[in-house]
Amino acid sequence: MEYLYKHIAAAATTTVAGSGQGVLHLITVNSTDNAITVTDATGTLAVLKNGIAEGTYEFNIQWAGFLKVTTVGDADITVAYGIN
């Protein structure tokens, strides 16, 4: 699967993929001062708490309908995802 990338550098709710289905591959955290919640049409897929260590977190979980990421604080993350 080919992955797409979305860089998020603000506190906001960001639509990463507006429709379809696919895989949330990973999230790279570049700043530790943020909380991250990932949702799709079925509900919450993942939560990374404020203060999580910088690094790359692998998920490889299916999403459906849409893929949104909500960040709180000084967000600086990159989301890698695939669309089927």
pLDDT at 73 over 90: no
Report how many domains make up the chain: 1
Q: What range does the domain containing 73 cover?
A: 4-83
Residue 70: per-residue pLDDT: 97
Closest CA to 11 of 57, 77, 59: 77
Q: Which residue has the higher pLDDT, 33 or 61?
A: 61
What distance in Å separates the CA atoms of residue 35 and residue 76, rounded to the nearest whole number? Answer: 10
Per-residue pLDDT at 1: 84
Which residues on adjacent β-strands are paired with residue 23? 62, 82
* Span 1-53, pLDDT tens digits: 899 999 999 999 999 999 999 999 999 999 878 899 999 999 999 999 988 89
Maximal C-alpha separation, the chain: 32
- pLDDT at 51 (0 to 100): 87
β-strand partners of 63: 22
